[in-house]
Structure 1
Amino acid sequence: MLVTRGPRPAILAACASFLLVISACGTTDKPEEAATPQVRLYGTDGNMLNSFAAELKDRADLVDGMKGTTPLTPLTDDFKQRLRSVDPKLTDYLYAAESYDAVMISALAAQLAGSTDPADIAKQIVGVTTNGQRCTDAASCLPLARDAQDIEYRGQSLTRAGFTDIGEPATASYATLHFDNQKINDAKTEFVGAGDESGVSTKAAPKPKKQRGGRNDSSDGSPLILGGLLPKTGDLALANPPLAAGVALALKEINAAGGVLGDPVVWIDGDDGTNPAVAKATVASHVKDKVHVIIGAAASGISSAVLPDVVAAGKILFSPSNTDSGLSQADDKGLYFRTAPPDSLQGRALADVILRDGPHKIVVVARKDSYGEGLQETVRAELERAGFGNDRVKLFTYDPPADAKAPPVDFGNLAGDIKGYRPEAVLVIGFGESAGLIKALADAGVPIRH
């Protein structure tokens, strides 16, 4: 996916000829310092949202020209309309498909298991997405599951292939997004596939159990209970509306199709706060309320923080938006799943987008957590493969706010350091708080290219 730029010898020769012409015309004055180069901004899934522009308030025009990548499957107009039926104010769709699929897969796994026990559900989750009769929604999949037929779910984000053995997508779709006039310009969005279908699990799940009468005989009688661990508050709150809409739509359609094991699926709301302490409190509350599957957390770092608590309680953690590659090796006892692809795939797509513009010096600045530093390292490695060594790539990190009540991050010194490096491209890996960095760059005199 990496691209090469035009031949540099020809470019240098042209520049040399141009300089000779200038010299012949008698121009001999030399500026003491070359002008600061224009800088193009790039972003990732944490800030490439329509709602991000609002984080800059009266300076929202600073995002114009910014572009970046995000895990995103081309969504049908029908699906978007259904999402708006549960949230008419929805302006972004990032991870809405992934949250929809996480709920659908959880429900189908419980139905196939004939049980609401998390351990039984977990054993069916990967198999829901592989080697069976293909179906695409609650109305078509649930009857098959009730009849104990093996199914292969293909939903809104999971379209090309199923899960790997460890419970994450084997393939993914990424979108290149562009900000124009303070919003994402859909007309410029490009999609590219990533991953390898050969990574799909070939393991057989336990034999499905047929539902008899109103409820499966082996069920303990309790309804399937899902608990939310989504960013209602905190730095990632700007991404909550599409996540919540995907969940709400899936629940609506599952229960309209008869629910799971003869009962409607129950949803207990919960906030991750983009904060480990808030998320841990929510997990403890869900454990007390006998939640079977926790949908979330949104941020990879938050999931890493709460996963030991979830595993100790014998519950399932199913995230629609975690992308940290490190979570693929987490000690999860088979209880962690995600519908978002790991950053090992996104890093390559993101590096490609930056390299297409031909910068000579690149800054990659990231929030100091597993998401930010993980993606930063993946992008750095991809740039290195393209020939960009340490002399052309500079890495910076910053400490994100501790919680929603913490004072804003002071990006002044960091902006000055970035300006001093004189890059032509700055990749900002962050959430809502990263708007402060963009403002600080402008205040420091960095000429942002629009």
Structure 2
Amino acid sequence: MLISRAARAATLAACATFLLASSACGTDESDQVTASPVRLYGTDGTMLNSFPTELGDRADLVDGMKGTTPLTPLPEDFKDRLRSIDPDLTSFVYAAETYDAVLISALAAQLAGTTDPAAVAEQIVGITNGGQRCETAVTCLALARDRQDIEYRSVSITRGGFTAAGEPSTASYATLHFDGKQINDAKTEFLGAGFESTASNSPPPDAARAGRNGKAPLVLGGLLPQTGDLALSNPPLAAGAALAIQEINAAGGVLGAPVTWIDGDDGTNPTVAKATVARHAAAGVHVIIGAGASGISRAVLPDVVRAGLVLFSPSNTDASLTELDDEGRYFRTAPPDSLQGRALADVILRDGPQQIAIVARQDSYGEGLQNIVQSELERAGVDPDRLKLITYQPPEGTDVAAVDFASGVREIKESGADAVLIIGFSESAELIRALADAGVPLHH
């Protein structure tokens, strides 16, 4: 039942003590009447089975939290193949996107007839559009060796191919639900987004061009979040990359030689990531797979371009990266947040919240998605006065003190929010803990 703004204002006035401090007005019994449970919502950085571990012995605070992530229904066979790489895998978020980024890179080099990064980059968009459809490393590489134009479709690229900007034209999103300390797969819903008509229809360069400098082996370098705030997302990324390398080489490799993989950490930190890019350039890497976070890719892309390499991310979603001046060297298999924002707004609106707080990292990913969700909510008819936007400076290293969310929690309580969307990474656990410590009743 919706509550009028006047009625809510009266309630807030009567309970000013609750809103400005950690205890509700009146007795404990009154607290139960006046304090509406707050629903928590998350995004791809938190909707992971590994996220509750960040809360330690208070992991049950995520019970009832829901949110979205780019995810397509994954075949059980693909999950089993990933588990053969990492038997302890508990999440598959961005595993398929990483697998596809690696395989597309290999196919591009095979079709180009060279490992020259510029020639590889020219082939990437065309590999996903037009030509003969193929879905496995064996069949796609066989076609590429015969220099046939192909239309790659696989676990994350199932409908439309890439746009001219080098990113998916269509996407699948999953709505995930925490029951207790784990995501309940039985409640997962999938939603399609985007339009196949936005895929590029430009033909790829002549695949018969061969003999350029830069023959095999193709060397790929990882730029994945092995450490830092996004480290909890690394296992499925690493498993997806390792599985693709294994299957490419089992299918005969690229240009007659096995593909080489060199590990690398982005640290969820520009300084760490830049150092990794420099090492990859010195080691002869042709294509870098990463970075994990959009802001990290934005920070290192100039270094990648100067080194004459390709940057191919499986998990960047910042919508503004679409317009980045990348000299044709940046690609991603993750869809932009312009698509995810609509799905996320729909999930929130289904619950009919009266006041919504959106808490986001102060970076291109956090503020970008925050603005998109705000726009989608307002487009759906939500009064701007019912939205509270809060940002925070994310930690920049493992030795930095935890984020102090005290002022953010105070703003949430003062706004009377009954829904809180959290756009962040592992540090977001501290916000949930701070809400609970401040007496905010969380919906379970």
Identify the TM-score tier after normalising by the shorter chain. over 0.9
Alpha-carbon offset, residue 221 of structure 1: 3.1
Asked if 1 retains the 8 angstrom alpha-carbon contact of 2:341 and 2:369, the reply is: yes
Counterpart for residue 405 of structure 1: 399
Deviations 1:293-349 (A, max 9, x none): 000000000000001111111110000000000100001000000000000000000
1:160 aligns with 2:141: no
Deviates more, 1:37-46 or 1:416-425: 416-425
Output the amino acid matched with 2:53. A
Aligned counterpart in structure 2 of residue 270 of structure 1, from 264, 269, 273: 264
Contact 1:36 1:422 in 2 (8 A): no
Deviation at 1:219, TM superposition (A): 5.5
Other-structure match for 1:37: 36
- 2-side partners of 1:400 and 1:223: how far apart? 39
Does structure 2 retain, via aligned residues, the 8 Å contact 1:293–1:317?
Answer: yes
The residue aligned with 2:233 is 239
After superposition, what is the alpha-carbon deviation per residue over 1:215-240, rounded to whole angstroms, capped at 9, x for unaligned? x6546334100000000000000000
- Residue 204 of structure 1 aligns to a residue whose secondary structure is coil
User: What is the aligned partner in structure 1 of residue 339 from structure 2?
Assistant: 345
Match of 1:3 in 2: none
| Structure-to-structure mapping, 1:325-404, within 5 angstroms | 325-404=319-398
Residue 280 in structure 1 maps to residue 280 in structure 2? no
CA RMSD of aligned residues (A): 1.6
Q: After superposition, where does 1:56-95 map in structure 2 within 5 Å?
A: 56-95=55-94
Mapped partners of 2:348, 2:165: distance in 1:
31
**2:216 and 2:254 in contact (8 A); partners too:** no
For 1:140, the aligned partner's letter is T
Contact 2:131/2:149 (CA < 8 Å) preserved in 1?
yes
Cα deviations across residues 387-441 of structure 1 (Å, max 9, x unaligned)? Answer: 2232100000011111112111111221122112111100000000100000000
Identity score, percent: 68
What is the SS of the residue equivalent to 2:191? strand
| Equivalent AA in structure 2 for residue 396 of structure 1 | I
In the alignment, is the contact (CA less than 8 A) between 2:173 and 2:191 conserved in 1?
Answer: yes
Question: What displacement does 1:209 show?
Answer: 2.6
- Distance in 2 (alpha carbons) for counterparts of 1:314 and 1:155: 28
Mapped to 1, the partners of 2:374 and 2:190 lie a distance apart of 22
Once residues 84 and 296 of structure 1 are traced to their aligned partners in structure 2, the CA distance between those partners, rounded to angstroms, is 21
Separation of aligned partners in 2, 1:316 and 1:185: 37
SS of the equivalent of 1:417 reads helix
Q: Do 1:94 and 1:242's aligned partners in 2 also have CA atoms closer than 8 Å?
A: yes
Matched, 1:123 2:149: no
* C-alpha contact 1:39 1:449 (8 A) present in aligned 2: yes
Partner of residue 243 from structure 2, selected from 217, 231, 249: 249
Which residue of the partner structure matches residue 437 of structure 2?
443
Distance 2:79 2:208 in 1: 34
TM-score calculated relative to the size of structure 1 = 0.91
Displacement of 1:41 in angstroms is 0.2
Q: In structure 2, what residue type is equivalent to 1:436?
A: E
Q: Secondary structure at the match of 1:163?
A: coil
- One-letter identity of the residue aligned with 2:414: G
Unaligned runs of 5+ in 1: 1-5, 16-29, 211-215
Contact 1:419/1:444, CA 8 A, preserved across alignment: no
Asked if structure 1 preserves the Cα contact closer than 8 Å seen for 2:359 and 2:390, the reply is: yes
Q: Would you say 1:260 and 2:260 are equivalent positions?
A: no
- Which whole-Å CA distance do the structure 1 matches of 2:403 and 2:422 have between them? 14
The structure number with the bigger radius of gyration is 1
Distance 1:373 1:133 in 2: 40
The answer as to whether partners of 2:395 and 2:402 remain within 8 angstroms in 1 is yes
The residue type equivalent to 2:77 in the other structure is D
How many residues are treated as equivalent by the alignment? 421
Structure 2 CA distance, aligned partners of 1:290 and 1:267? Answer: 11
- Paired with 1:396 and 1:262, the residues of 2 have a C-alpha distance of 53
The whole-number CA distance in structure 2 between the counterparts of 1:218 and 1:279 is 30
Tell me how far 1:112 sits from its aligned partner: 0.2
Q: CA deviation at 1:91?
A: 0.5
Q: What SS does the aligned partner of 1:50 have? A: coil
Q: Is the CA contact (8 Å cut-off) linking 1:136 and 1:155 kept in structure 2?
A: yes
Give the Cα–Cα distance (whole angstroms) in 1 for the partners of residues 214 and 188 of structure 2: 48
Q: Deviations over 1:86-127 (max 9, x none)?
A: 111111000000000000000000000001000000000001
1:12-31 alignment runs, 5 A limit: none
Please give the alpha-carbon distance, in whole angstroms, between the structure 2 residues aligned to 1:167 and 1:89.
Answer: 33
Confirm or deny: 8 A CA contact 1:310 1:316 kept in the other structure.
Answer: yes
AA partner of residue 163 (structure 1): F
State the partner residue of 1:27.
Answer: none
**Residue in structure 1 matched with residue 204 of structure 2 by the alignment:** 205
CA distance in 2, matches of 1:227, 1:393: 42
* Contact 2:127–2:150 (Cα < 8 Å) also in 1: yes
Letter in 1 for 2:399: K
Contact 2:173 2:190 survives alignment (8 Å): yes
In 1, the alpha carbon distance for the partners of 2:59 and 2:414 equals: 25
286, 297, 310: which one pairs with 1:292? 286
For 1:322, the equivalent position in structure 2 comes to 316
Q: SS at 2:407's partner residue? A: helix
Aligned to 1:51: 50
Residue identity opposite 1:317 in structure 2: L
CA shift digits 1:31-74 (9 cap, x unpaired): 79972221000000000000001000000000000000000000
CA distance in 2: counterparts of 1:402 and 1:295, whole angstroms: 22
